[in-house]
Amino acid sequence: MFSRLDPLLHSPLRLAVMSLLISVEKADFNFLKEKTESTAGNLSVQITKLEQAGYVAVTKGYKGKRPHTSCQITPKGEKAFEAYVNSINNYINPSK
């Protein structure tokens, strides 16, 4: 009846990152840091975990002379996020 929740997405910060990325084409690191109210170090670790799982693609480069990192949800990440949301909905409304 209840499906297993993806432990990678069950982390509050990783879930917040995925929730933001699902609604935009790309997001830069500072945007994600500001919206999640996370430290740079913690956010970096969580983004790396999502990238290693294939849920997020990370692009690193420069804007002028400053480093610039942007993130984009992958098709695999979209599917995982949708499955996670559906599972949560089943927990909330098990009769549906």
Predicted confidence (pLDDT) per residue in 44-82, tens digit: 999 999 999 999 999 999 989 999 999 999 999 999 999
How close are the terminal C-alpha atoms of the chain, in Å? Answer: 11
The verdict on residue 66 lying in a domain is yes
The verdict on residue 49 lying in a domain is yes
The verdict on residue 63 lying in a domain is yes
If one counts the domains in the chain, the total is: 1
Residue ranges in the chain assigned as alpha helix (H): 12-21, 29-36, 40-52, 75-92
Q: Which residues span the domain enclosing 70?
A: 12-74
pLDDT at 19: 97
Helices (H) and strands (E) in the chain, counts: 4, 3
The verdict on residue 95 lying in a domain is no
The verdict on residue 69 lying in a domain is yes
The verdict on residue 87 lying in a domain is no
The verdict on residue 19 lying in a domain is yes
Q: Which pTM was predicted?
A: 0.91
Contacts of 81 (CB under 8 A, 6+ apart): 9, 18, 19, 22, 55, 73
Q: Are 94 and 88 in contact (CB under 8 A)?
A: no
CATH number of the structural domain spanning residue 27: 1.10.10.10
